[in-house]
Structure 1
Amino acid sequence: MKKEIDINCDLGEGMPFDQKIMPYLGSCNIACGGHAGDDASMKRTIGLAKKHQVKIGAHPSYPDKDNFGRISLDLGIEILKESLKSQIEKIKSMAIQTKVDLHHIKFHGALYLDSLINQELALELAFFIKHHYPNQTLYAPFGSCMANAATRTSIPLCHEVFADRRYASGTQLLPRKDPRAILTDIKDIDEQVSLLLEKSSVETTNGGLCKVKADTICIHGDHPRAVEIAKLVATKLAETPNPPS
């Protein structure tokens, strides 16, 4: 039986490509006011996802639109959870109004990266999801602190890999402040996706190979070649007869 791997993308962030990307996706992560997004963008993106039968996810972040959620904030865990709940409830409420289900949660930006390496934070976030959103799937990389916390708390988990970001390790992306963090050459993206699909591995910046698990491949909606990348990944998924587990 062929393993089903979908493409997911961060959308509703004010970028111009959402409508062109959506047909290639299996799931999308919708900005819900923390780093980007407002009621109008959430409603529009949900409607577009419904039209193309794309699963809808919440994409909450540190509440910091000025920095697009890409700087770690020390808010205190209770204030952070209050903000996350407010963000997720917005998108969940709009999904219900549109008669679609909220399928998953994927943290954004600095919060996502922090949760991969900070086990205490990851557990707090996992318990938060378990308590408020036990039926939603969490997107996180295999072997990360967040994935381990999800397993420990019995949260449904979808292992995520990236088409357009360089890896520092099997569980960590290179920080965006590093000029090598974003893959811009389509040939490099092609090679990374091929390695993911054919060998369940990623190459790190030190030249090593790390084993990963892939249930979904992320592309970023703010990448200037996002539509081209979506087409490439969709083609490679169709051409790979049985991606390894």
Structure 2
Amino acid sequence: MMRIDINCDMGESFGAYHLGNDLEILDYVTSINVACGFHAGDPMIMARTVRQAIEKNVKIGAHPGYPDLQGFGRRNMDFSPEEIYNMIIYQVGALQAFVGIEKGKLHHVKPHGALYNQSANDREKAGAVIDAMFDLNPDYILYCLSGSLMAQMAKEKGLTVYEEAFSDRNYNEDGTLVTRSQKQALIESEEGMLQHVRGIISSNEVMTIQKKLIKINAQTLCIHGDGPHALHFARRISELNKI
């Protein structure tokens, strides 16, 4: 029996560029976050990813990001709340259409990259994302950083929230992710990843880079589909989640 939702970012290829092992990873996750064309993805990739997920009975979420193909949506950008609201509507609306054509159901929305991190504890940016989701469909679940202001605001708005932990990212003492510009940002060894994930699943705890054990509330666990060990890590985490 699964103990925690396992999600993975997918559909991040575009045009002639192929990224990730999407079809294989679908066997080991329970939900996916599909790139909607701004940071990655394109109409062909979106359609194919949605179809494959429905065939595998995997829950589908939208993964909207900043319009930043060159930086893969991971560069901080300065947009107004209105601009963020409209880019969420635009991207999630596109994925809604593909899911609807395949007679599926959109399950959740998870902001990507810099949008995810910048909106986690910024009231205006968080509010823009939350309002867009609520206006699109108040039944959509928001996937966001565990313990964040965004999680609190979304619950107050009436949205269902899955607070998220990361299988391959290190944490600071305040519960934030170590920024990718630091060497310690990623957990790259299988042993380290399994120890980290075991703590999240069994005890709701993570060891920070400051060597302090902190509590973390998580209903979903993320695997980054573009990582070099993504498929292998997904398989091992799925095994661990069934124990």
TM bucket (normalised to shorter chain) is: over 0.9
* Shift, 1:169, TM fit: 3.7
Pairing 1:103–2:107 present: yes
Specify whether residues 163 and 60 from structure 1 end up closer, same or farther in structure 2 by C-alpha distance, changes over 3 A only.
same
Q: Find the counterpart in structure 1 of residue 32 from structure 2.
A: 28
* Shift, 1:62, TM fit: 1.0
* Shift, 1:99, TM fit: 0.7
Pairing 1:207–2:211 present: yes
Pairing 1:9–2:8 present: yes
Pairing 1:193–2:197 present: yes
Paired residue type of 2:141:
T
The alignment's TM-score, normalised by the length of structure 2, stands at 0.94
Distance 1:166 1:102 in 2: 30
Deviations, residues 101-157 of structure 1 (Å, cap 9, x unaligned): 010000000010112221332123222222222110000133101111111111111
> SS of 1:25's equivalent?
coil
Pairing 1:157–2:156 present: no
Select between 198-207 and 24-33 the one with higher mean Cα deviation: 198-207
Paired residue type of 2:73:
G
Q: How does 1:56-135 map to 2 (within 5 A)?
A: 56-135=60-139
Distance 2:23 2:136 in 1: 31
Aligned residues between the structures: 238
Paired residue type of 1:220:
H
Paired residue type of 2:227:
H
Contact 1:170-1:212 at 8 Å conserved across structures: no
Paired residue type of 1:56:
I
Deviations, residues 166-205 of structure 1 (Å, cap 9, x unaligned): 1124531111111211111011101101111221111111
Paired residue type of 2:177:
L
From 122, 138, 141, the equivalent of 1:137 is 141
Q: Percent identity among equivalent residues?
A: 35
From 52, 58, 76, the equivalent of 2:56 is 52
Contact 1:32-1:42 at 8 Å conserved across structures: yes
Distance 1:80 1:121 in 2: 7
Contact 1:135-1:156 at 8 Å conserved across structures: yes
CA-based RMSD: 1.4
Distance 1:80 1:57 in 2: 18
Runs of at least 4 residues off by over 4 Å: none
Contact 1:116-1:172 at 8 Å conserved across structures: no
Unaligned runs of 5+ in 1: 240-245
Paired residue type of 2:188:
T
Contact 1:35-1:68 at 8 Å conserved across structures: yes
Distance 1:16 1:191 in 2: 24
The alignment's TM-score, normalised by the length of structure 1, stands at 0.93
